[in-house]
Amino acid sequence: MPKLLLIGSQGQVGQELLQTLPPIGEVISVSRAELDLSQPEAITELIETVKPNYIINAAAYTAVDKAESEPELAKQINTIAPAIMAQAAKSLQATLLHISTDYVFDGTKNTPYLETDPTNPLGIYGRSKRDGEEAIQAVGGRYIILRTAWVYGTQGKGNFVKTMLRLGQEREILKVVSDQIGSPTWSYDIAVRITEIFQHLEQIPTGVYHFTNSGVISWYDFAMNIFEEARRLEVPLKLQQVIPITTDQYPTPAKRPAYSVLSNQGLIDCLGTYPPYWRESLKKMLGELLG
């Protein structure tokens, strides 16, 4: 039976992977509390001890704005740690699956980004993730880099859906950015896709792939859909009005890509199955969260 090492087991995607991965093999999982990714020796020691067939790196430094003032920590976790995992995986002839992000792109396109499009991150977070991808590729070995975007779920601390629900119960008026476009993606669907990848690994060449839910929307329209579903599920909202604003009206320490839709075609070609539509996944997630 194959042995899978799941790093980042308590994050949004990690907690879902704990549910979806067991059919693949024996899952050994470690959380942030159990493995400090800023300690290179600890990563190597863990992998050499477990001797997994597959390593899934679902851990990351994801505080996009905070990264602007913590570049070294972002680099340690998002660039150096994945390179160490890749090196250890290569020495064991194991496969590394590493989760990356739409923030490796600058958002200047207006058609979905392909895996082969040039990267050009706008901030420290995106740069640290891009550098992590390149570090894994430089090591060689067997790897799958899976970029995703706009992740939300029932697990983990905070995400856009949970934040909107909380604010909708606290405030009468909300302002939400309407000129950033992407594909909201349910963490459970990511976990299912990763599990599919391991079930059909021989069909998937080493390389970079994208996975998001299908469909495209702005943060504003996504918020409107969240509130519509919340009302349908009889959540008591104080909210009266949602006002669309521009990115310029909501300045943040880190710049964000205005358009970060990712093309899913690479994995569709390999697996023959399509990602679920974002609206259906949102309904299921809210049903799970609020049901």
- Per-residue pLDDT tens over the stretch 60-90: 999 999 999 999 999 999 999 999 999 999 9
pLDDT at 157 over 90: no
144 against 157, higher pLDDT: 144
User: What Å distances lie between residue 112 and 27, 81, 108, 190, 282, CA to CA?
Assistant: 34, 29, 11, 18, 21
Kind and range of the H or E run holding 49: helix 40-50
Superfamily of domain 3-156+184-214+261-276: NAD(P)-binding Rossmann-like Domain (3.40.50.720)
| CA torsion through residues 262, 53, 12, 85, sign | negative
Instruction: For 165-205, write each residue's pLDDT tens digit.
Output: 999 999 999 999 999 999 999 999 999 999 999 999 999 99
Torsion-angle region of residue 211: left (phi > 0), alpha (psi -120 to 50) or beta? beta
Q: Which residues are catalytic?
A: 125
pLDDT at 236 over 90: yes
Can you read off the two tokens belonging to residue 288? 């799970």
Between helices 219-232 and 160-170, what is the axis angle to 10°? 60
pTM comes to 0.97
End-to-end CA distance of the chain: 36
- Residues 234 and 249 sit within 8 Å (Cβ to Cβ): no
Distance, CA of 138 to CA of 118 (rounded, Å)? 17
According to the model, what pLDDT value does residue 291 have? Answer: 78
The residues, ordered by sequence, that sit 6+ positions from 135 with a Cβ below 8 Å of its Cβ are 79, 80, 82, 83, 86
Instruction: For 215-226, write each residue's pLDDT tens digit.
Output: 999 999 999 999
Q: Which of 52, 42, 48 is nearest to 80 (CA)?
A: 42
Q: Which of 142, 161, 158 is nearest to 96 (CA)?
A: 142
Instruction: For 43-65, write each residue's pLDDT tens digit.
Output: 999 999 999 999 999 999 999 99
- Residues 264 and 75 sit within 8 Å (Cβ to Cβ): no
According to the model, what pLDDT value does residue 158 have? Answer: 82
Considering only the C-alpha atoms of the chain, give the largest distance between any 2 of them, rounded to a whole number of Å.
58
**What's at 126, amino acid-wise?**
G
